[in-house]
Structure 1
Amino acid sequence: MIKKTEALVLRRKEFRETSLLLTLFTKDFGKINGLAKGVRTESSQWGSSFPLFSHNAIVFYFRRGLNLITEAELLRDFSKGISPLNKNIFASYLVELVDAIFPVEDKNEPIFNMLLEIFRLFEKEEDIEKLVHIFELKLLQLTGFSPRLDTCINCKKVITKYASFSHKRGGLLCQNCTSLDKEASMVMPGTIFTLKYIFKEPFENLSTRFRMNNLIKEELRYILTRFLDYHLDNPTSLGQLVSKFS
């Protein structure tokens, strides 16, 4: 069965002498694995060589397991704009995160659109860490993993000021309940406000207008790394490396 869609390149691996094995996140079918035969030959008639992070229009034969990609048109190559080392590491981390969370053929157009927009923003935005934390939180929200922030996850008391973040319990503990989780981390009121604001606002508003100070970024980096590592079956190998570039 022949299918057409738009696709972002998550992974690419050389296969034999002329082909590529690809992991793509598509607009209409979610994550798929595909084989592009002959794409690496000098006489190739392909309209794209599938650079990492690139946006492509593709045609493929739908098969369970490994799809056969037959046509491609490069719509935008983000690899050059994301070429500085820090941007490349952050982009690779987000790609790895999406790959770890989504099974094959689980359609999610909002995630596709958000990943496409984040690649666009990486080309021009200087505060890359802000974008990464916004993406992480919106990804959790859109996949149903967002932590509870309005009330204490133990006693249900409304959180008004100081609280601790429990990555194991999946949300905030009030001051009276903090002792229930010795690994819970105290978070500033400003960080709690930032978390709530990001979950409330549309991604497009946050990516362009929202500012985040270094203390809040530091707290988000710490609690999100622990939260994601705890709740993902296969924690991303880039998480610690990303922290070094933050």
Structure 2
Amino acid sequence: MIIKTQGVILSQRSYQDNEKYLTILTKDCGLIEARIRVFGQIKRTIFQSICPPGYYKMDLFVNKQMYYTVDTIEKIEDFFTLRYDVEKLALAGYFCELTQALVPAKEHVWVYLRLLLNTLYLLEQEKRSPLFLKAVFELRSLSISGFMPNLVCCRECCEYEQKQMYFLPLEGELICSDCMREHPVQRNDLPILLNKPVLSAMRYIIYKDFDKLFDFSLSPVYLKQLSQVTEYYMLTRLEKEFNSLVMYKQLKTEEP
């Protein structure tokens, strides 16, 4: 059976000189692993150019055991200019690795594909800063994966705003300073005091319609805290290390 689809290559592993396996987030088949080799219409030059985080149109051959083989493939967007900046390339790799960790096998993958493609485009075109995109991608992808924190109000008194609002990463909730004195949090949960602009940004990322997801701004000081909070929340929830994130942080330059 042949399936025509589109997808982003999230990762690859070589098998032989003329054969490799691709992890692809496809529009129609979900997250799959597919074999590709130099054969037929796939010439060596095409084979060598195919790599993450490219977006391709492809024909997939599926056998009875549900193993996928790339029969034909055509570039839609390869985000090639990211390769000129190792920091951006590492961040793009992190977006792909995080997507691979979060996305379900087949259900509702279009929301992940759309988020990933838009983020990669903005990164390549320098429409938004890497730190901004990292924070937005982390929190939004976690939210659509079932890890959406409840940031509507304090979990105890239901106040929308107080002078001091704390974020509880383990529970994914807010608590104000008054209630925290009366209702102690878990011993292993680390309350994070959120500046008002940071809390507003987190609420925006979680609850805003996708079409306006990237349409906000934050000063460098608050953006730095936002990125720290979203990263810590992601690591707390997933309990997993990401090699691409480590590499990005080693390469990252401070943004003005």
Which TM-score bucket, shorter chain as reference?
Answer: 0.7 to 0.9
How far 1:232 sits from its partner (Å)? Answer: 1.1
1:6 aligns with 2:13: no
Q: Percent identity?
A: 21
Higher helix share: 2
1:54 aligns with 2:54: yes
1:228 aligns with 2:234: yes
Compared CA separation, residues 45 and 234, structure 1 to 2 (3 A): same
Letter of the structure 1 residue corresponding to residue 178 of structure 2: N
1:127 aligned partner: 129
Native 8 Å contact 1:48 1:73 kept in 2: no
Distance 1:238 1:43 in 2: 30
TM-score by length of 2: 0.84
Compared CA separation, residues 147 and 38, structure 1 to 2 (3 A): same
How far 1:149 sits from its partner (Å)? Answer: 0.7
Structure 1 unaligned segments of length 5 or more: list them.
none
Q: In the TM superposition, what whole-angstrom CA distance separates every residue of 1:108-157 from its partner, at most 9, and x where no partner exists?
A: 1121112112121111115121122112222122222111111223x142
Q: How does 1:172-211 map to 2 (within 5 A)?
A: 172-178=174-180, 179-181=184-186, 183-207=190-214, 209-211=215-217
Native 8 Å contact 2:167 2:173 kept in 1: yes
RMSD in angstroms over aligned alpha carbons? 2.6
Native 8 Å contact 1:100 1:236 kept in 2: no
Structure 2 unaligned segments of length 5 or more: list them.
none
Letter of the structure 2 residue corresponding to residue 180 of structure 1: V
Native 8 Å contact 2:6 2:27 kept in 1: yes
Q: Equivalent of 1:166, from 152, 160, 168?
A: 168
How far 1:166 sits from its partner (Å)? Answer: 0.9
How far 1:90 sits from its partner (Å)? Answer: 1.1
TM-score by length of 1: 0.87
Letter of the structure 1 residue corresponding to residue 165 of structure 2: A
Q: How many residues align?
A: 244
SS of 2:13's equivalent? strand
1:78 aligned partner: 79
